[in-house]
Chains A and B, each alone.
Chain A
Amino acid sequence: MTKQITKAEELAKFQREISVSEFFTKNRHLLGFDNPHKALLTTVKEAVDNSLDATQEMQVLPEILVEIHKATDDRFRIVVEDNGPGIVKEQIPRIFAKLLYGSKFHAMKQSRGQQGIGISASVMYAQLTTGKPTKITSKISPKRPAHYYELHIDTKRNEPEIITDREVPWQKDHGTRIELELEGTYQRGRQGVDEYLKQTAIVNPHLHLVYLAPDGQRLEFPRATKEIPIEPKEIKPHPYGVELGALMNMLKDTKQRTLKSFLTNDFSRVSDKTANEVCLKAQLKGTEKPSGVDSVSIERVFRAIQQTKIMAPPTNCLSPIGEELMLKGLQKEINAEFFTSVTRPPSVYRGMPFQIEAGMAYGGDLSSDDLARILRFANRVPLLYQQGACASSRAIVQTAWRNYGISQSKGALPSGPIMIVIHVASVWVPFTSESKEAIAHYPEIIKEMKLALQEVGRKVASYIRKTVKAKEHREKANLFEKYIPELAHSLSDISGEKKDTIEQGLMRLLRKLLPVLINHENSKEIQTKS
């Protein structure tokens, strides 16, 4: 009797662990590495975002250096150096050469990076396209030496592979420098590194950044304020924002001894009373050991949370740019006639606090024949791709710009010499994909965006009215000369007087009154009581 091989056993031959490199190669579009141009941008972006977060955590004014050197036709060497707190020696390999490793994923706190996938994905991409290791230098104190590493990722195990590890002399007191060589293309324009850095400078007016472009050009983005954004506070998750799977994991990992103390201590805004209510609705006592709650009960807890009224999460964990600093940022980077900005009060979507800011620039160098330029930001990070898919686009399209004297075709972006800035600050910005390019269409977020846009729209409208009206007024005053022959003709008709006499009389009057007409803004018919 021959041994029968079952289908399952047959299939088992093909079942094995997927290596991170395979996963990465197949899914790189999700992470912002779909093409060489975007890969270059994503790498600069991740490194600069990290530098900004690090300096902010340390509360120092950021000094960032970005260099892009052309190595060969399709290879670039990227250097990003900051004056942040540095990284302790032991952590360096894991932070840069292990995917999905970081401090920000678990924290309920507003930060630029979120997933902990960014910079190590660049290291992986560099390794896959050029085979070169990534070079890291980091120093945490003037009294300590700088550490220099050359790193690869062991793509089978997702673990760092240390190629070089030594101490080096470094002039800086503290900071981090990363250098990678990768395949890429360099382009200027709306979705290039230059634009990204410029927009970063707008929403981070406290940043001083020096940029060496591949063509040797040196660009400097000066600092507009010495005010460092306050470091956002970390908050516990709000029950409304937790999904079933996450709830299961939290129950498994908690240090709390009972279900009730888990609810009150591991979440924000859950009082004893609220916890009792949730337990009651889930038909549980509340004294159960969290890790012992079975999955059916967890589902009941999950549903009970949705059915219980829980106070909105605290919003003091957000760090908006602020109206004044947003204006400063715009004014230093954009050449326009008029600027305005607004910061909305914090609001909440699905248990997550968020806050919307909007700004507008009008006139000047902005082209009046095109659609409005839109600058989108999430936690101070510029979003350069997928504008159409972003919640902000919908909010802008749905705002009635014509009410503000700005032209707009139905269902389209407004047009004219305007630039619209939208910033979303949140402990968790809901992106439509992992590459963090577009904000998801939550109704609460769109509503707040629209309110912010209406507010800046009104301010721009009053500016337009003032300047445009003044111009129209001058033009109208100059029309009198053309009106006079017409009036003289019909007045001669009804009065029987000679047309020439009337015309000459009117011209004489015009010469006398013209200066008054140009300056005088008399818009209403004068009312007199007889």
Chain B
Amino acid sequence: MKTAKKSRPSRKPTDSLRELGVSLVHDISKSKNPEIVLPIRALSNVEFDKKNRTLVLGDKLSTRSFFNVAHAKKFLQTIEVAAVSKALLREGKHASLRDVYYQVKRTIPGTKVNIVDEQNESDSVIEDLELITGNSREQLNINANKNGSVAGRVIVEDRGDTIDWSKLGSGGWSIPSNVEDIKFKKVNAKFIVYMEKAAVWERLHEDKFWDKHNCLIMSSQGQTTRGIRRLLQRLYNEFNLPIYVLTDMDPWGVYIYSVIKYGSISLAHISEGMAIPGVSYIGITADDISDYKLERHLIKFKDTDLSRLKQISEYEWFKDNKEWQRQFKMMKQMGSKAEIQALSARGISFISERYLPEKIRKKAFLD
């Protein structure tokens, strides 16, 4: 039997994968049902560490055994992905999540069963494998898609190339999935504005917001990828740059902020390496609606929005936060969401000329 422990010192990935295999073969030779034990990755097993202000994985474990009708396929997927990773490490190559999916995806001979049907199955198994081996996805030579852009007065060195983030035209620098080996040569900025929407980033970039306010602007599309979270964290830790998060005013936007600040539920095992408890929320807040006269530019909540809002307001890390509870209450009363782009109703550059400068000047942030 193989037990994963949190915060186990990282070992060489090839060793940890071999160990997994050997322990299972041992089970089989002892005529025991081979099983893998791993922590449960769900809200039920996530704790909020009040001291460090990050989400950490609890100690509830689940057992995945091969001779169990409900587990067999997942078990097979886990070992298949482990074998793919082992081959990548042996050949010194990196694969994308999609590559791994295709390496594993095939129909088992004599059946109609595919080892994986959808990519989210292999993605989820890769995250399991991080817990089982104690190695991160990147250490297993698997990279996510790059996603997100950044611009500002920063010069970095990446794989021997020197890149100036202020001289990259309309697209900015696209953030790679692994930023561990990036070297910062020069950082000239007072703060970072991070936003959940690429379109808003393009607005700020066109308005040269980063130039006028001497800051960095960074975005992804939707959920923040690990590469971006790690880049934010490095800039925060190594250069003391305050980070202001800009999202839609809806439960999904709040969760994007929550992930950057405290860590995510499904990846609670890597919170330590990614959470940035010092980030602040700049908007859109429920108060902005009346302050900036956005009442007539809201979108009605759907049932799923409302139930997600309820879920989030009950998360341990928001439960005792009076200011956020007030925000949730107002959102519920309004029964509507406000997108960042609602500000465009006040003028296309309202966001860069008035909204953001004003909020930063007044330090109107939520913690």
Chain B residue at smallest Cβ distance from A476:
B69
With A495-B21, A497-B25 known to touch, is A479 a contact of B113 (CB < 8 Å)? Answer: yes
Write the B64-88 contact mask toward A (1 if CB under 8 angstroms, else 0). Answer: 1011111111011001101100110
Contact A487 B31, CB 8 Å, known A479-B72, A494-B79: no
Contacts of A445-484 to chain B: CB distance below 8 A: 473, 476-477, 479-480, 482-483
Write out, one digit per residue, whether chain B residues 211-222 have a CB within 8 A of any chain A CB (1) or not (0).
Answer: 000000000000
Q: Which of the residues A486, A512, A530 comes within 8 Å of B76, measured between beta carbons?
A: A486
**Contact pick for A494, options B28, B61, B82, B109, CB 8 Å:** B82
Interface positions, chain B 1-47, Cβ under 8 Å from A, are: 3, 17-18, 20-22, 24-25, 28-29, 31, 33, 37, 40
Q: Give A496-530 interface residues, CB cut-off 8 Å to B.
A: 496-497, 501-502, 505-506, 508-510, 512-513, 517, 520-530
A529 contacts across to B, CB distance below 8 A? 59-61
In whole Å, how far is B14's beta carbon from the nearest beta carbon of chain A? 9
Asked if B110 is an interface residue, CB under 8 A from chain A, the answer is: yes
Q: Is A490 an interface residue (CB 8 A)?
A: yes
> Which chain B residue has the least Cβ–Cβ distance from A493?
B83
Confirm or deny: A491 has a beta carbon within 8 angstroms of a beta carbon on chain B. Answer: yes
Task: Report chain B residues within 8 Å CB of A505.
Answer: 25, 28-29, 31
Shortest CB distance B340–A (Å): 35
Bound together, the chains give a CA A491 to CA B113 distance in angstroms of 19
Query: Does A530 contact B3, Cβ atoms closer than 8 Å?
Result: yes
Q: Which of B28, B61, B62, B76 has the most CB of A within 10 A?
A: B28
Q: How far is A310 from B28 in the complex, measured between Cα atoms in Å?
A: 77
Residues of B within 8 A of A493 (CB): 21, 83, 86-87
Establish whether residues A528 and B21, one from each chain, have CB atoms under 8 Å apart when the complex forms. no
Chain A residues within an 8 Å CB radius of B144: none
Residues on A with beta carbons closer than 8 Å to the beta carbon of B86: 493-494
- In the assembled complex, the Cα of A200 lies from the Cα of B61 at a distance in Å of 60
Task: Say whether B60 contacts A483, CB under 8 Å.
Answer: no
Interface centre among A482, A486, A495, A496 (most CB of B within 10 A): A495
The answer, yes or no, to whether B237 is at the interface (CB within 8 Å) is no
CA distance A494 to B115 in the complex (A): 18
Residue of B nearest to A520 (CB): B69
* CB–CB A486/B80 < 8 A: yes
B3, B40, B68, B83 — most chain A CB neighbours (10 Å):
B68
Q: Which residue of A lies closest to B64 (CB)?
A: A525
User: Are B67 and A480 in contact, CB atoms less than 8 angstroms apart?
Assistant: yes
What distance in Å separates the Cβ of A430 from its nearest Cβ neighbour in chain B? 34
A273 CB to closest chain B CB (Å) equals 41
**Do A510 and B67 have beta carbons less than 8 Å apart?**
yes
Pairwise interchain contact A487-B66, C-beta atoms closer than 8 A: yes
Q: Is the CB of B62 within 8 A of A525?
A: yes
Contact A495 B113 (CB under 8 A): no
Q: Are A473 and B69 in contact (CB under 8 A)?
A: yes
> Are B66 and A477 in contact (CB-based, < 8 A)?
no
**B39 to chain A: closest residue by CB:** A530
Take A482-B111, A506-B28 as given contacts and tell me if A525 and B60 are in contact as well, using a CB distance cutoff of 8 Å: no
**B83 touching A494 by the CB < 8 A rule?**
yes
- Nearest CB on A from B88, distance (A): 12
B24 near A483: Cβ-Cβ < 8 Å:
no
B72:A494 contact, CB within 8 angstroms: no
Residue count of chain B within 8 Å CB distance of chain A: 42
Partner of A490, one of B40, B62, B64, B82: B82
Query: CA–CA, A517 to B67, complex, Å?
Result: 7
Interface size on A, residues (CB 8 A): 39
Total A-B residue pairs with C-beta atoms closer than 8 Å? 115
Chain B 110-128 interface 0/1 with A at a Cβ cutoff of 8 Å (1 = within): 1101010000000000000
> Which B residues are in CB contact (< 8 Å) with A508?
31
| Shortest CB distance A108–B (Å) | 42
- Given known contacts A483-B72, A509-B33, A529-B60, A491 and B24 CB-to-CB distance under 8 angstroms: yes
Q: Given A487-B79, A494-B20, A529-B59, does the pair A522, B25 have CB atoms closer than 8 Å? A: no
Q: Is the interface of A mostly helix, strand, loop or mixed?
A: helix
B31 near A495 with CB under 8 A, answer no
Nearest to A514 among chain B residues (CB) is B67
Chain A minimum-CB-distance residue to B62? A525
CA distance A528 to B3 in the complex (A): 12
A525–B87 CB distance below 8 A: no
List the B side residues contacting A530 at CB < 8 Å.
3, 59-61
Residues of B within 8 A of A487 (CB): 66, 75-76, 79
Q: Shortest CB–CB separation between residue A485 and chain B, in angstroms?
A: 8
**CA–CA, A185 and B110, complex, Å:** 55
Q: Give complex CA distance A525, B66 in Å.
A: 11
| Shortest distance between the CB of A476 and any CB in chain B (Å) | 5
On whether A477 and B69 interact (CB within 8 A), knowing A486-B80, A509-B28, A527-B61, the answer reads yes
Select A512's contact among B31, B40, B70, beta carbons within 8 Å.
Answer: B31
- Say yes or no: B71 contacts A525, CB within 8 Å: yes
A480, A491, A523 pick with most chain B CB within 10 angstroms = A491
Residues of A within 8 A of B115 (CB): 486
B224–chain A nearest beta-carbon distance, Å: 29
A490-B67 contact in complex given A508-B31, A529-B59, C-beta closer than 8 Å = no
- Least Cβ distance of A293 to chain B in Å? 51
Determine if B72 and A480 form an interchain contact, defined as CB atoms under 8 angstroms apart.
yes
CB-CB < 8 A to A527: which residues of B?
A: 40, 60-62
B28 touches A502 (CB 8 A): yes
Question: Which chain B residues border A494 with CB–CB below 8 Å?
Answer: 17-18, 20-21, 79, 82-83, 86
Would you give the shortest CB distance from B31 to chain A, in whole angstroms? Answer: 6
- How far, in angstroms, from A502 to B66 measured CA to CA in the complex? 13
Cβ–Cβ < 8 Å partners of A479 in chain B: 72, 108, 111, 113
Which residues of chain B have C-beta atoms less than 8 A from A523's C-beta? 69-70
Q: Report Cα–Cα, A169/B101, bound state, in Å.
A: 89
Chain A nearest CB from B322 CB (Å) reads 34
**Neighbouring A residues of B188 by C-beta, 8 Å:** none
Chain B nearest Cβ from A163, distance in angstroms: 71
The residue that A491 contacts in the complex, of B21, B59, B68, B111, with Cβ under 8 A, is B21
Q: Is the CB of A524 within 8 A of B70?
A: yes
Q: How far is the CA of A40 from the CA of B181 in the complex (A)?
A: 89
**Contact between B62 and A526 (Cβ–Cβ < 8 Å)?**
yes
The 8 Å CB contact of A482, one of B60, B66, B79, B109, is B109
A522 and B61 contacting across the interface, CB-CB below 8 Å: no
Greatest chain A CB density within 10 A among B37, B61, B73 is at B61
| Contacts A505-B28, A527-B40; A522 near B18 (Cβ below 8 A) | no
Extra 15 A-B pairs, beta carbons < 8 Å, given A483-B73, A522-B70: A479-B72, A480-B67, A482-B109, A482-B113, A493-B83, A494-B79, A497-B22, A505-B25, A508-B31, A509-B31, A510-B67, A522-B69, A523-B69, A523-B70, A528-B62
Which B residues fall within an 8 A CB radius of A?
A: 3, 17-18, 20-22, 24-25, 28-29, 31, 33, 37, 40, 59-64, 66-73, 75-76, 79-80, 82-83, 86-87, 108-111, 113, 115
Q: What would 15 A/B residue contacts be, using CB atoms closer than 8 Å?
A: A479-B72, A482-B108, A482-B113, A483-B66, A485-B109, A490-B79, A493-B87, A494-B21, A494-B82, A495-B21, A495-B22, A497-B21, A517-B67, A526-B62, A527-B40
User: 6 smallest A-B Cβ distances: which pairs?
Assistant: A495-B21, A494-B21, A490-B83, A505-B28, A493-B83, A525-B62
